[in-house]
Structure 1
Amino acid sequence: MPQGRVVRVAGAMSGTSLDGVDVAVAEFWREGPHERFRLLRWEHAAFPPALRRRLQRLHEEPVPIAEVAQAHWEVTAFTATCLRRCCAALGMSPSELEAIGFHGQTVYHEPAARHVRGYGIGLQLGSPAALAQWLGTTVVGDFRSADLALGGEGAPLVPLFDWAFLRSAEEFVVALNLGGVANVTVLPPGCRREEVRAWDTGPGNLWLDAAAEMLLGVPYDADGACARRGQLLAPLWERLLRIPYIEQSPPKSTGRELFSRAQLRELLQGLPVQTPAEDILHTLTRFTAWSVAENLRRHAPGCTYMLVSGGGALNGFLLECLCQELPQVCIERSEVVGIPVLAKEALCFAYLAYQALRGEPTNLPAVTGARAATVLGVVAHPEGRPWQGFLPAGEG
């Protein structure tokens, strides 16, 4: 039974794949030195086509500032709708939540600026203040800015959740999230918080989805079925292996700025016009698996157990390729530990909001390269719900 106060929090996440918003409602509490959670409900809602096209334009084309502002408010309003629907299914109002962790939509990520300016550059769309007013509860948002300001990459931010709930006293665990970008959290047996390592390994679904849309006219290659029918294209494979990001040492993070549609088109130039779509998808899928595995071979060779989440975890052929690349590793989807693959990151941001309410540092400087640990997120409160201060450290 929970010993500390049970705190009910929601999380909302929209990632680099631009496929929509994931929301999760969960309860968190402490049992002695351990933290616990219970996932109550999660939902995924695809972006309306017009909003998805607008967000794609922000990444791929010069756009007027008015379009950026419109997207900022549209992302907030759509997230509010998703959270209302998820809470209604639980028979509750969002105002009954202790807080919401709101990631927003990343539209620019330039962590390398930290080496020149002393701080990184990034931008997430979505207003925590507006969401707090519309839903009548505290919202924690803008999670990345504090880490960027301290000279960090601003990403990845899920490793604290992974350390709290997925580490093992016996197994060398890697938590792999296959979103638009692939990222890993490395958890050696019995590791302390400061021993956690995590980074983006390269593309996850970004190029797979872009190729499916360009070549097949569908949003993604369901289960990797088309890719499974194909063969490796040696010329494309050789170009992919020359991408320098894969060989960089952590800390590192990336996004659509590097693994863009324009970059993919450039890689595909020179291939014969009649090149089968299944061969292109096959090669890109194998590269995604190889890039994850190569990062682990270089920086976490002792891994024995992998938990996979994100949309890419539903790509059966991609997981087969991973198993071939890492035959010594037991690879399973995160459902085996009670975390639906599409709920993981929303659940993580609910946890980061919970920790922010307790005044606990939530970045890991060894992961991001920041100069110090700090509480991540800006806290917004609705009218009529004054700030009551942080939850006592022993609560929840």
Structure 2
Amino acid sequence: MSLFIGLMSGTSLDGVDGVLVDFWAGAARTMSAAYVPFPDDLRAELLALQAASPNELEREALAANRLAQLYAQCVADILAPTDMKAADVRAVGVHGQTIRHRPELGFTRQTNNPALLAELCGIDVIADFRSRDIAAGGQGAPLVPAFHQALFAQQGKTRVLANIGGIANISILKGDNNATGFDTGPGNVLMDAWIARHQGKPYDDNGAWAASGTPIQPLLQAMLQDPYFLLPPPKSTGRDLFHMDWLQRHLSHYPDARPQDVQATLLQLTAQSLADAITTHAPRTEAVYLCGGGAYNSVLMQAIENKLGQNVKVASTDALGVPPNRMEALAFAWLAFRFNERQAGNLPAVTGAKGERVLGALYPR
């Protein structure tokens, strides 16, 4: 067996997803999975750290310690129902929590304390996957297309895997070892922030609130004119761009807009920017498979399907044998596996790096 654990806490700031994967003989067999939600106060602190704030160095370090404890809990929960022990696992691949992503300035920052995690779980930890790609001139994101290409490309067909977390990104798999991909724009980040402000809920369950509203078309068209959507790939983005201040600037022209209509517009923004990216860069796509939290929003899924047209199949990654909420954790288990083999984890055509690089840094147990 060749066992690795992958841990992922994404831009949506909801919690930690983890999987135990066996990569023996080139396969990727998920053996166990767990989810640990963020406490409300930690979620609030991680959200606050997205922007410059007082005493942020100390606060980030303390948040990193708490994250490491949650990661360790997730590792324990993953192993508990199995016959496996910590010594059976070669490494834990952990992404950390992104609080800054500024590749144009040459850096990205994922809050984490991998040394503490190695101490707590007694397993080698591999972390800091993005900075090596950025050092080589890349965006450091998205990293999942290399994983998607390795496991889900189908010879002679073009398919897209779309991850809709806080930010949405796509992997375009052409079946010829020529994958591309990039961040398309906001996924759930603006919808989550808007419903939190108006209803105190962390997310719009199944898009029900958005479905109760009517999209404001001029607002949608104005938001779609943001320069990011017009940039050619490689490109990546995050909360550094798409945040509540960005939304408020657009809403200043619509002071009487109903909150549910704004939510409906934000859902259409995610769907339209994703569909536009696919039709522009993958016009021969036969199928689109959705993962991340957005895959559980049937209103959003239907909106994407409507925009892509009846000739494109739209489904969740359940159809590929991977539950949508496990895909990214599985990807970071794979990246840890690649590091262990000293094999490249990036795709220069995706990130813009000067070449293939081994990604990650090792923190021995």
TM-score range, shorter chain: over 0.9
1:211–1:281 contact (8 Å) kept in structure 2: yes
Size of the aligned set, in residue pairs, is 363
| 1: CA distance, partners of 2:67 / 2:27 | 30
Q: Report what 2:135 is aligned to.
A: 149
Give 1:95's match in structure 2, choosing from 87, 90, 95: 87
After superposition, the C-alpha distances for 1:213-264 in whole angstroms (9 at most, x for unaligned) are 1122211110001111211213321321221111111000000000012212
**Partner residue, 2:104:** 112
Amino acid at match of 2:213: G
Task: Summarize the alignment of residues 1-396 of structure 1 with structure 2, pairs less than 5 Å apart.
Answer: 6-30=1-25, 35-64=26-55, 65-113=57-105, 120-188=106-174, 190-192=175-177, 195-273=178-256, 275-327=257-309, 328-382=311-365
Kept after mapping to 2: 8 A contact 1:247/1:295: no
Give the C-alpha shift of residue 276 in structure 1: 2.4
Deviation at 1:270, TM superposition (A): 3.2
Bigger mean CA offset, 39-48 vs 364-373: 39-48
Cα distance in 1 for residues equivalent to 2:268 and 2:125: 40
Q: Once structures 1 and 2 are overlaid, which stretch shifts more, 175-184 or 72-81?
A: 72-81
Deviations 1:352-390 (A, max 9, x none): 1011111111111111111121110011111xxxxxxxx
Aligned to 2:23, the other structure's residue is in SS state: strand
Match of 1:390 in 2: none
CA distance in 1, matches of 2:137, 2:228: 20
CA distance in 2, matches of 1:301, 1:124: 34
Q: CA deviation at 1:19?
A: 1.1
Which amino acid is 2:75 matched to? L
Taking every aligned residue pair, what percent have the same amino acid on both sides? 38
Q: Tell me how far apart the structure 1 counterparts of residues 110 and 255 of structure 2 sit (CA, whole Å).
A: 39
Contact 1:145 1:154 in 2 (8 A): yes
Partner secondary structure for residue 324 of structure 2: coil
Q: Whole-Å Cα distance in 1 between the matches of residues 282 and 103 of structure 2?
A: 23
Per-residue CA deviations over 1:17-45 (Å, capped at 9, x if unaligned) read: 11111111111122xxxx21111122222
Q: C-alpha separation between the residues in 2 aligned to 1:26 and 1:191?
A: 26
SS of the counterpart of 2:155? coil
User: Larger Rg: 1 or 2?
Assistant: 1
When normalised by structure 2's length, the TM-score is 0.96
Give a deviation string over 1:168-203, Cα, whole Å, max 9, x none.
113211010001000000011x312xx210100000
The 8 Å contact of residues 156 and 176 in structure 2, kept in 1 or not, is answered as no
Letter in 1 for 2:28: F
Structure 2: tracts of 5 or more residues without a match: none
1:207 deviates by 0.5
> How large is the RMSD of aligned CA atoms in angstroms?
1.3
- One-letter identity of the residue aligned with 2:38: F
Distance 1:29 1:173 in 2: 26
Q: What 5-or-longer segments of structure 1 have no aligned partner?
A: 1-5, 114-119, 383-396
TM-score (norm 1): 0.89
Q: Deviations over 1:78-124 (max 9, x none)?
A: 111111112112243333311110111111000122xxxxxx21111
- Supply the distance in 1 between the matched residues of 2:167 and 2:208 (Cα, whole angstroms): 21
Alignment check: 8 A CA contact 2:132 2:359 kept = yes
Q: Distance in 2 between matches of 1:41 and 1:277?
A: 40
Amino acid at match of 2:6: G
What is the CA-CA distance between 1:333 and the residue it aligns to?
0.4
The answer (yes or no) to whether the contact 2:36–2:70 under 8 Å persists in 1 is: no
| CA distance, structure 2, for counterparts of residue 325 and residue 51 of structure 1 | 37
Whole-angstrom CA distance in 1 between matches of 2:109 and 2:33: 26
Distance 1:179 1:362 in 2: 21
